[in-house]
Amino acid sequence: MILPLSHQVLLNWNNMQNINWEQLLNFSFKDIKHSINFSEDQYLLNINGIDIKFLKDKNNFIVSPDKWIEEKISNQKIHEPRMISWLFAFSEVFKSKKIRFYDIGALFGFHSFIFSKISNYSKIITVEGNPLSAQYIKKNVEKNKLQDFDVINCVVDKENKEKIFLIDAFSFQLSQKNRLKYLIKKNIKLLLSNILNLLNLKVKFSEKKIIEKIYTKTIESIMLPYSEDIIEIIKIDTEGHQAIFLPSSSKDLIRRDAIVLLELDDPDLMKSFGASNAELIEPFLNNSYSAFWTQHRDKASEVKKISKLDSKFDCNSLVTLIPQKFI
In a domain, 18, yes or no: no
Same domain, 253 and 153: yes
Rounded to whole angstroms, the Cα distance separating 8 from 16 reads 12
Average pLDDT of the segment spanning 196-219: 66
46 domain residue, yes or no: no
In-domain check, residue 9: no
Distance CA 155, CA 326 (A): 30
List the CATH number of the domain containing 85: 3.40.50.150
Kindly state whether residues 140 and 234 are assigned to the same domain: yes
Long-range contacts of 221-225 (CB under 8 A, 24+ apart): 221/160, 222/102, 222/125, 222/127, 222/152, 222/154, 222/156, 223/100, 223/102, 223/125, 223/252, 223/256, 224/100, 224/123, 224/125
Would the pLDDT of 5 be above 50? Answer: no
- By residue range, what is the domain housing residue 117? 77-158+219-326
Summarised one tens digit per residue, pLDDT across range 211-233 is 667 889 999 999 999 999 999 99
Do the domain assignments include residue 59? no
**Which of 1-10, 103-112, 192-201 reaches the highest mean pLDDT?**
103-112
Beta strand extents in 34-97 (DSSP E only): 34-38, 42-47, 50-55
DSSP, collapsed to helix, strand or coil, labels residue 117 as: helix
Say if residue 284 is in the same domain as residue 312.
yes
Do 170 and 315 fall into the same domain? no
Same-domain check for residues 145 and 132: yes
Statement to judge: residues 132 and 254 lie in one domain = yes
Whether 15 is covered by a domain: the verdict is no
Same domain? 141 vs 245: yes
Question: Letter for the amino acid at 257?
Answer: D
Tell me whether residue 31 is in a domain: no
Are 238 and 313 members of one domain?
yes
Confirm whether 276 is domain-assigned. Answer: yes
* Residues 177, 274 share a domain: no
279/171 same-domain check: no
Question: What is the Cβ-side half-sphere exposure of residue 141, based on CA atoms within 13 angstroms?
Answer: 20
193 located within any domain: yes
Q: Cα separation of 119 and 95, whole Å?
A: 7
- 202 burial via Cβ count (<10 Å: 0-12, 13-18, 19+): exposed
When divided into structural domains, the chain yields a total of 2
Same domain flag for 305 and 266: yes
pLDDT digits (tens, 9 = 90+) for 29-66: 988 899 999 999 999 999 999 999 999 987 666 678 99
DSSP 257-315: T-EEEEEE--HHHHHHTT--HHHHHHHHHTTT-EEEEE-TT-TTPPPEEESS--TTT-S
> Are 237 and 307 found together in one domain?
yes
pTM of the model: 0.85
